[in-house]
Amino acid sequence: MADLSIILGKFRGANVELHWTFVLLMLFVLVFDVQAFFLLALFFVCVLLHEMVHAEVASRRKVKIKRIVIYPLGGGTVIDQNNMSPDTEAAVSISGPIATLLLALILYLASIPTAGTLSNLLYLLAVLNLLLGIFNLLPWMPLDGGRALRGWLEKSRSHTEATRLTLTASRITMVAYVVLSSAYIIIAKYSVSYKEFLLLFNALIALFIYGGTESEMLMARIKERTGSIDIKRGISKDYTLINPGMKISSLNSLVVNPYSHTVITKSEGGYAVLSNQRLRKEALKTTASDARIGKLCVPIPTLDYGTSMFNAFQTLESEESPLAVVVKKGKPAGIIRRQRLEYLMMLRMRFKNTGKGRNR
Ligand SMILES: [Zn+2]
């Protein structure tokens, strides 16, 4: 489904995308209410600014930006987390909400001298940004505030310990928020349906944060156990590197069984893979295809030979790729599949005593 996303342009070397679910939501709103459509569109310009500030701070600290994506419930900046220092994680995370709060102040000040619809619109946008800024300053884990707190705590603790403390802060403030805001909603003079809507919204936030803290803790444990083991053991040699200019019809003469074999080519700045699905489709055509292999390949990430299992897994996860090319001194040393990596990591999690020594 990722293909349905709309790419707006590039910022700091990364694609700025509107996720397909966001595009769908906007079309849906446009059909029902043009005014709401414009308000949402303007608000998402503010969300985009928030993400661009994250990306700007990250790129100034030499962190690679992979993607900036706008979703129906906010934005996300995907950055290369490999070897990112806790200090950088804190700075990158806190920059977004600070920018959003400043924007809220500017919009509010701009609403004062104006009048009528424009004033109302600026005021409404100021309130939405204020809420976005505050929610992202709370120490809630998958959000900016939680990441900033963890980065700050991690300066003098282990990653796992910093995560554990942040999760405790996350849950305590979450419970306090839900209890206090629900009590306020119940005694406030809102209509019953509006109260129901707000309470449901609270329940959803609580579930989202709870789920987020659970998965963060799991990731911290996995990092603790697999962050120091390199990927050497998972590398496979079952691939062929083929010239991207070669015709797809000449594959059979090169690869013994193209259906179970991985075909990779060089692409601009890295490597690309010819998916088996694509290969099968081409092979089923009655006339031999003249298509060049390079044109049919999709880019895959490149990992260094010394990359840890955890970092490799994070890269495959954030790039949504089933495999990566492992390079040693600039030359391909093999491929690593996500399935194999997950299996090795699971073994490591289950039998923690089959330690580092045996892998060397
Ligand atoms: Zn943010």
Do residues 175 and 126 both lie within one domain?
no
Amino acid at 320: E
Do residues 16 and 53 both lie within one domain?
yes
Spacing, Cα 220 to ligand 1 middle (Å): 21
In a domain, 13, yes or no: yes
Comparing 17-26, 145-154, 184-193, 256-265, the range with the smallest average pLDDT is 256-265
Do residues 274 and 210 both lie within one domain?
no
Spacing, Cα 72 to ligand 1 middle (Å): 14
Local confidence band at 50 (pLDDT 50, 70, 90 cut-offs) = very high
Residue 138 has which token pair? 């709370």
Spacing, Cα 35 to ligand 1 middle (Å): 26
Question: Does residue 257 have a pLDDT over 80?
Answer: no
Residue 43 has which token pair? 């608000």
| Average pLDDT of the residues in 157-186 | 91
In a domain, 156, yes or no: no
d(CA 201, CA 199): 5
- Residue at which a domain ends, from 88, 121, 137: 137
In a domain, 264, yes or no: yes
Name the helix (H) or strand (E) containing 69.
Answer: strand 65-71
Spacing, Cα 353 to ligand 1 middle (Å): 39
Question: Does residue 145 have a pLDDT over 50?
Answer: yes
pLDDT for the residue numbered 252: 65
Spacing, Cα 351 to ligand 1 middle (Å): 37
DSSP string of 164-189, one letter each residue: HHHHHHHHHHHHHHHHHHHHHHHHS-
Do residues 182 and 81 both lie within one domain?
no
Residue 225 has which token pair? 């156990």
In a domain, 147, yes or no: no
**Span 295-310, pLDDT tens digits:** 888 888 888 888 888 8
Q: Which of 319, 348, 351, 338 is nearest to 236 (CA)?
A: 338
Do residues 110 and 220 both lie within one domain?
no
Segment 85-88 long-range contacts (CB within 8 Å, at least 24 positions apart): 86/150, 86/151, 86/152, 86/153, 86/154, 86/155, 86/159, 86/162, 87/151, 87/155, 88/58, 88/61, 88/63, 88/151
Percent of the chain at pLDDT exceeding 90:
25
Q: What residues make up the domain containing 116? A: 2-137
pLDDT for the residue numbered 11: 86
pTM higher than 0.95: no
In a domain, 154, yes or no: no
Count the neighbouring beta carbons within 10 Å of the beta carbon of residue 235. 18
Beta-carbon-side half-sphere exposure of residue 191 (alpha carbons within 13 Å)? 3
In a domain, 23, yes or no: yes
Which residues are found with C-beta within 5 Å of the ion, ligand 1?
96, 144
| Average pLDDT of the residues in 184-210 | 87
pLDDT for the residue numbered 309: 87
- Residue at which a domain ends, from 190, 206, 226: 226
d(CA 216, CA 127): 30
Comparing 53-57, 197-201, 248-252, 269-273, the range with the smallest average pLDDT is 248-252
Spacing, Cα 111 to ligand 1 middle (Å): 25
Question: Does residue 104 have a pLDDT over 90?
Answer: yes
Cα of 152 vs its chain's centroid, Å: 21
Spacing, Cα 69 to ligand 1 middle (Å): 11
Do residues 212 and 259 both lie within one domain?
no
Spacing, Cα 101 to ligand 1 middle (Å): 12
Q: Structurally, how many domains does the chain consist of?
A: 3
Q: Which of 214, 185, 289, 286 is nearest to 247 (CA)?
A: 289
Do residues 243 and 333 both lie within one domain?
yes
pLDDT for the residue numbered 358: 44
Spacing, Cα 95 to ligand 1 middle (Å): 8
In a domain, 153, yes or no: no
Local confidence band at 39 (pLDDT 50, 70, 90 cut-offs) = confident
Q: Which of 114, 150, 322, 135 is nearest to 223 (CA)?
A: 150
pLDDT for the residue numbered 255: 61
Yes or no: say if 342 and 222 are a contact pair by the CB < 8 Å rule.
no
Please report where in the chains the tokens 């990779």 appear, as a residue: 264
Do residues 124 and 55 both lie within one domain?
yes
pLDDT for the residue numbered 246: 80
- Residue at which a domain ends, from 226, 261, 281: 226
Yes or no: say if 81 and 314 are a contact pair by the CB < 8 Å rule.
yes
Do residues 11 and 119 both lie within one domain?
yes
Do residues 81 and 189 both lie within one domain?
no
d(CA 263, CA 279): 9
Which range is most confident: 121-130, 251-260, 323-332? 121-130
d(CA 248, CA 288): 8
Spacing, Cα 304 to ligand 1 middle (Å): 29
Spacing, Cα 302 to ligand 1 middle (Å): 27
Spacing, Cα 256 to ligand 1 middle (Å): 49
pLDDT for the residue numbered 1: 44
Residue 224 has which token pair? 């603790």
Question: Does residue 136 have a pLDDT over 70?
Answer: yes
Do residues 105 and 204 both lie within one domain?
no
- The residues, any chain, with a CB within 8 Å of residue 75's CB and separated by 6 or more, are 44, 47, 48, 50, 51, 68, 69
Count the neighbouring beta carbons within 10 Å of the beta carbon of residue 54. 24
d(CA 31, CA 16): 25
Spacing, Cα 280 to ligand 1 middle (Å): 42
Do residues 260 and 346 both lie within one domain?
yes
CATH value at residue 320:
3.10.580.10
Local confidence band at 53 (pLDDT 50, 70, 90 cut-offs) = very high
Q: Which of 61, 15, 81 is nearest to 313 (CA)?
A: 81
pLDDT for the residue numbered 289: 66
In a domain, 246, yes or no: yes
Local confidence band at 359 (pLDDT 50, 70, 90 cut-offs) = very low
